[in-house]
Structure 1
């Protein structure tokens, strides 16, 4: 049985002469959090709007739960929770009024479910949305996206304006959503957030998909920084000969370097030279992401 929730084939969107998304082929299986990464203008929001059925592709297809996102929006509406990056709501309504309106669109949502989410994010539903801070308005959007327990969450910069405590709470909600077997398509510039919750990342550049990897594989691919302390003068020429070694400098008996790929060859090469200490600086997703872009030109 096909467990692919999102499947795009040669998905392309042009705005006039500008190509915002170019031949995107991407499969997102059920029960995962996919982090969708790229710099501004890479095509992330365009992809999200196509998946949400808000715009039509120039060519290609975007299938969600087997339905065409562009032509069968009504069949998908109750199965998708969507939070745009520029979330706005009716400023004259209270949070409760706004969410009740959307609850009807979703075919009914228990009041207890809305209240539970609001309490979890410390959101006062009795205040007019126009009087809320940016962070609290974002909380309204989060509750709106999650309150009907959709099978797919499509989230564009969801933690904009949230304080660190609420960001942590949101990450926990994402983990619970994945553990319940639902799928999350998450675009975020907060790479620590993506690293904390994503199973897989897809990276865009200039409208084209350049890689899909697990978070760990992407980190393993990135350069690691090492400090090697020797009992005597570091064997620089021996270290330089090791594949993947970059940015080698020396401070007394300590060799500072970065290396891509496995460190096993390096450790084997320097073992005869009386290494007294090895310090490895853990690679995070941000470093891996930036290194991927720089190494790919």
Structure 2
């Protein structure tokens, strides 16, 4: 069952088109990764879903309700964490957490205490003394204290140290195990790869690829480092081989995954002494989509 459905979503700011016919779907109990460079349209899509911006064309629905006209009802069942959290400077972290928990009408004091401990937050300090990472912790504690059905997380680990990122990832997995849905916008590709069931890649306001990680890996290259008894010949003539380099007597190169079998057969005839293979990552997938497109990104402007 779909929790989020975005259909042909277009958002224009004057002459600039921030979103150009975006389609995406987040299913119940699914963690959906939403990735793309700054200015691609991630945050604009999220603002439309939150009912902050009205779509120019198309529709955005959460729990089958319109994101703009039914925003009040929808917000009772969602938790949102932005990438840059602003808090009331004269309140303590604990007071802010209590305020938001009460606004939601919940009383999850044991969950609140558990999360404060896990995220290693001092709730007695005034918010004006908090670092960016500590402000993120407050927002994450508020979000995961609530019994939301959908978590919308926009660069949520911005400013967190690696240890706290691990705590965040555990919280996301716990939400999934409880049958909740998560829309995670992130540029930390290892995080997306570790957590997400499916990903959508957005570039210049258009979704250019959507699918499961295993399904998208056919677009990636495997990194190989090979040492052979005899020098490998004609490697550059093989289909799907890229970035060939000599490294201390070994040959380093990338292979399109679908050509791997043919390439291994070719190099095996030269007597393999050592073979190291690094599996393709989401980062490889991401880089291939944006290779040689840097110029078009510059000056694209707009909201991320």
Normalised TM-score (structure 2): 0.90
Instruction: Tell whether 2:254 aligns with 1:255.
Output: no
Structure 2: stretches of 5+ with no match in the other structure: 295-304
Which whole-Å CA distance do the structure 1 matches of 2:248 and 2:127 have between them? 61
Contact 1:224 / 1:280 at 8 angstroms: preserved in 2? Answer: yes
Q: 1:288 aligns with which of 253, 275, 285?
A: 285
Matches for 1:200-215 after TM superposition, within 5 Å: 200-215=198-213
Kindly report structure 1 stretches of 4+ aligned residues shifted beyond 4 Å: 250-253
1:186 deviates by 0.6
Which whole-Å CA distance do the structure 2 matches of 1:251 and 1:69 have between them? 54
Correspondence for 1:273 = 270
Structure 1: stretches of 5+ with no match in the other structure: none
Correspondence for 1:70 = 68
Which whole-Å CA distance do the structure 2 matches of 1:276 and 1:268 have between them? 14
Correspondence for 2:56 = 58
Correspondence for 2:160 = 162
Instruction: Tell whether 2:278 aligns with 1:264.
Output: no
Matches for 1:167-246 after TM superposition, within 5 Å: 167-235=165-233, 237=234, 239-246=235-242
Contact 1:21 / 1:208 at 8 angstroms: preserved in 2? Answer: yes
Which whole-Å CA distance do the structure 2 matches of 1:109 and 1:47 have between them? 31
Q: 1:123 aligns with which of 121, 136, 140?
A: 121
Correspondence for 1:103 = 101
Residue deviations 1:146-169 (CA, integer Å, cap 9, x gap) = 211211100111111111111111
Which whole-Å CA distance do the structure 1 matches of 2:108 and 2:270 have between them? 68
Equivalenced residue count is: 293
Contact 2:197 / 2:213 at 8 angstroms: preserved in 1? Answer: yes
Which whole-Å CA distance do the structure 1 matches of 2:102 and 2:65 have between them? 23
Q: 1:274 to 1:21 in 2, by over 3 A?
A: same
Normalised TM-score (structure 1): 0.92
Correspondence for 2:299 = none
Q: Secondary structure at the match of 1:273?
A: coil
Correspondence for 2:78 = 80
1:205 deviates by 0.5
Contact 1:80 / 1:154 at 8 angstroms: preserved in 2? Answer: yes
1:220 deviates by 4.3
1:253 deviates by 5.7
Which whole-Å CA distance do the structure 2 matches of 1:189 and 1:234 have between them? 38
Which whole-Å CA distance do the structure 2 matches of 1:100 and 1:255 have between them? 59
Q: 1:296 to 1:28 in 2, by over 3 A?
A: farther
Which whole-Å CA distance do the structure 2 matches of 1:295 and 1:269 have between them? 30
Per mean C-alpha deviation after superposition, the further-off stretch among 166-175 and 118-127 is 118-127
Q: 1:252 to 1:175 in 2, by over 3 A?
A: closer
Contact 2:202 / 2:209 at 8 angstroms: preserved in 1? Answer: yes
RMSD: 1.9
